[in-house]
Amino acid sequence: MTAQMRTGPAARDPSFRGIDPPALNQVIRQLQDAESAIRGWLNGHRPPPGVSAAGYRQADEVARWAADQLGMLTRRYNFAVTHPDKGDGVQAPTPPSPAPGPGPSGGGETGGGPGVGGSPESGSGSGGGSGGSGGPGSGGGTFTPVTPPKTGPSPRQPTPNGAGDLGAFPDRRAAAKAAKADALAVAAAAGGGVRVPGSVWTHLKANAGDPDYTEKLYEGLGPAATAGLLRSAEGDRARLAVIEESLGTASHHLTMDTRWLRAFLAEAGRAGVRPVAVQVLTGADMSRRTREALGGLDLGSASPHAAEAGTGAGDRPHQVPLLKDDPQSRPAASAPTG
């Protein structure tokens, strides 16, 4: 880690910000252990009567500080692992290096050029080395750079996501509180056959990429109320897109296994929106485990316009029953002025 700080992008870019998810996960675990140790000591060593409690109070403040930091750090970690770097988010521009000269006959220079995963400074990676691809080949000659294939970001690659702005909520607890309130509003609307309040759609759109908010929202909704939310979209493309994005985000932290997915599709079928549900599930950027669970289901073939027409292959044409407005969600009429 220290070597990375000296030679990595942070050493070349003073405004660099990024998160190494495994390293942050280790910090979180260490902080959890420290908080537990402090709490355990405090619980077992109450200050006796007549003895100053100043030291006890200071230790208690440290424990509370650690607990507060855990909420913030866990939120940053969740952002980092849910939205990994796409390959150009944290890498500072690499300074140009001089072109290597011809290699000696019979072998290449060790570390003659940056390879896959290497750097110009260290010469590490699979591209360098004696006779390695990307370095001078056996027999000498002019070095020809080889562009390595794009294999996607390494699981350990730092990401800027979570290192800066954390959206609408400072920590995981605040995001969970807001999600719980919105889940209750959606469940109440679905149970009463009324439209979901506009404020919920506003919150969902603003926080569709928030891992903590979406996890707690769909955890609170469950399959039945999630189908009710889908029905309340009434085919609106923008709202369906928000549900699709937020479900994909939630799938990285909430267990959406075969059982959950089957229950959701069954509830969507009863609500008359199963083809829409299939479109949303197959279009969402789901986690690997959720995609595998989806692959084990018989979703049928949904046409590209199934979400708009409300029909799919083998389905009988139908109309999604329209919902009525919730009288309590309407703005109160202003009193006439004389």
- Are 315 and 180 in a shared domain? yes
- For residue 123, is it within any domain? no
302 has a pLDDT exceeding 80: no
- For residue 338, is it within any domain? no
Domain count, the chain: 2
Spatial separation of the C-alpha atoms in residues 223 and 30, rounded to whole Å: 36
Contacts of 11 (CB under 8 A, 6+ apart): 5
Residue the block writes with tokens 């690499």: 94
Give me the pLDDT at residue 85, please: 63
- For residue 155, is it within any domain? no
- Are 177 and 307 in a shared domain? yes
Give me the pLDDT at residue 311, please: 39
Percent of the chain with pLDDT over 70: 60
The distance from CA 28 to its chain's CA centroid, rounded to whole angstroms, is 17
Q: Running DSSP on this structure, what letter comes out for residue 329?
A: G
Q: Residue 51 class from Cβ within 10 Å (0-12 exposed, 13-18 middle, 19+ buried)?
A: exposed
Give me the pLDDT at residue 269, please: 96
- For residue 160, is it within any domain? no
69 has a pLDDT exceeding 70: yes
Residue 17 lies in domain: 2-82
Segment 288-308 shows an average pLDDT of 73
- For residue 283, is it within any domain? yes
- For residue 164, is it within any domain? no
The answer to whether 89 touches 153, Cβ cutoff 8 Å, is no
Tokens of 43: 């619980």
Which residues lie across from 194 on neighbouring strands?
324
Spatial separation of the C-alpha atoms in residues 338 and 333, rounded to whole Å: 15
Spatial separation of the C-alpha atoms in residues 18 and 31, rounded to whole Å: 20
The answer to whether 108 touches 137, Cβ cutoff 8 Å, is yes
Q: What is the pTM of this model?
A: 0.62
Give me the pLDDT at residue 255, please: 94
Determine which of 30-44, 148-162, 180-194, 209-223 has the lowest per-residue pLDDT on average.
Answer: 148-162
- Are 202 and 78 in a shared domain? no
Segment 18-29 shows an average pLDDT of 88
Contacts of 215 (CB under 8 A, 6+ apart): 179, 250, 253, 254
Spatial separation of the C-alpha atoms in residues 102 and 88, rounded to whole Å: 31
Distances (CA, A) of 67 to 36, 41, 103, 257, 308: 10, 15, 57, 31, 47
The model's pLDDT over 77-134, given as tens digits with 9 standing for 90+, comes to 888 888 776 554 444 334 344 444 444 444 434 343 443 333 333 334 444 444 444 4
- Are 64 and 187 in a shared domain? no
Place 298 in a pLDDT band, splitting at 50, 70 and 90: confident
Which residues lie across from 159 on neighbouring strands?
19
Q: Running DSSP on this structure, what letter comes out for residue 327?
A: G
What is the chain's mean pLDDT, rounded? 74
Give me the pLDDT at residue 162, please: 52
The answer to whether 287 touches 251, Cβ cutoff 8 Å, is yes
Contacts of 226 (CB under 8 A, 6+ apart): 218, 247, 264, 267
Of 82, 101, 119, the position where a domain reaches its end is 82
Give me the pLDDT at residue 15, please: 62
256 has a pLDDT exceeding 70: yes
Place 332 in a pLDDT band, splitting at 50, 70 and 90: very low
- For residue 314, is it within any domain? yes
Place 299 in a pLDDT band, splitting at 50, 70 and 90: confident
**Phi, psi dihedral angles at 244 (to 5 degrees):** -60, -45
Of 82, 99, 129, the position where a domain reaches its end is 82
The answer to whether 105 touches 73, Cβ cutoff 8 Å, is no
Compute the residue count for the chain. Answer: 338
Give me the pLDDT at residue 82, please: 83
- Are 197 and 311 in a shared domain? yes
- Are 76 and 195 in a shared domain? no
Task: Give CA torsion, residues 81, 86, 91, 97, to 10 deg.
Answer: 140
141 has a pLDDT exceeding 50: no
**Amino acid (1-letter code) at residue 188:** A
The answer to whether 228 touches 189, Cβ cutoff 8 Å, is yes
- Helix %, strand %, coil % for the chain, to 5? 50, 0, 50
- Are 299 and 194 in a shared domain? yes
Residue the block writes with tokens 């928030």: 210
- For residue 108, is it within any domain? no
Of 52, 82, 112, the position where a domain reaches its end is 82
Count of Cβ atoms closer than 10 Å to residue 159 Cβ: 21
Give me the pLDDT at residue 312, please: 41
Which residues lie across from 324 on neighbouring strands?
194
Spatial separation of the C-alpha atoms in residues 93 and 318, rounded to whole Å: 56
Q: Which residue has the higher pLDDT, 218 or 328?
A: 218
